[in-house]
Every structure is written in structure tokens, then in C-alpha cells.
Amino acid sequence: MTISKGDTIPEVTLVKATAEGPQKVQSSEYFAGKKVALFSVPGAFTPTCSAKHLPGFVEKAAELKAKGVDEIACTAVNDAFVLGAWNSSSGSADITMLADGNGDLVEALGLTMDGKGYGMGTRGQRFSMIVDNGTVTELNVEAPGDFNVSSADHMLGQL
């Protein structure tokens, strides 16, 4: 079953990419007490993700925060080292990278995709959501191959 607005983020272990190295974090702890703009990409360093998705959140970070977002987080079925390198090369300190290396989060959300045709295995769909104190208040899931509703611009219109 796919997560819906009003649902609580499921309990999973993610790995936060930090300057000190990977740090495990429980989803319930990470999302507690704050408003998070979370976006998911099929993979770090992939074309649309690198050319449009991450840069949009980097460019709009101040505007998102001005509208009440406490933290902007990106997740992908990649390891924390890859996400950390991607954030170092294309992101910013305004983006928190949450590695979902085993796909536990996207599986629990019901938002997996089959990337085997591209040699990527099971990945997370492209989506974004506003999570307020652990509860999903907005959910935007892209149709396969699209990049519209999961963008930073679309999220700004929802806040």
C-alpha cells in the first residue's frame, strides 16, 4: 500500500551523510518535531536528478525555509558515501542526504520502482513530500519518466 497524506512516516533506519561520515538515524527521530521537505530521486548522479531535481532544491532552499520548512532532505537508494559525494559536487549544506541503501524506506512507503532495465535494480520512485512532525501533509509522486510535481517549485506552491 502506498503512503498517503495524513499517514505517519514508517519506522526505518536511514543513513545520514555527514562531514564526519555516515550516521545511522531512525526515521521517527529524524522527522520528529520539525517540518521537512523530503524529495526522492531514483539515483545520485543520474541525468534528471543531477540536472534538475537536486539543483532546484539547492536554488530554492531559502524560499522553502522562509515558508516554514525546517530542513530539506534528499533520499535515494544509494549508499551514504555516494549521496555525500553528490551533495559535495552538486548540492549544498542546505540539503541533508538520507541514504536508503537497502530501499527500506521506499519499500515501506510503497514507492519502489523497477530500474532493472537500466541496470539499477529496485529503486525509489521520483517523489516529494512535506513531512510535519512525522506526518505526511503533502505527497507528490511523479509518473514514470516525468519531472514536474516533485520539484522545489511545485512544493513552494503547496506551502
Q: So which residues are the catalytic ones?
A: 49
Burial (Cβ within 10 Å: 0-12, 13-18, ≥19) of residue 50: middle
Q: List all residues 6 or more positions away from 41 whose beta carbon is below 8 Å from its beta carbon.
A: 49, 53, 54, 74, 75, 76, 124, 126
Is residue 28 classed as helix, strand or coil in its secondary structure? helix
In sequence order, what DSSP letters do the residues of 36-55 get, joined into one string?
Answer: EEEEE-S-TT-HHIIIIIHH
**Which one, of 80, 67, 23, 57, lies nearest residue 128 by Cα?**
57
**Which one, of 25, 92, 84, 88, lies nearest residue 56 by Cα?**
92
Cβ-contact 92, 119 below 8 angstroms = no
Phi, psi of 71 (to 5 degrees): -150, 145
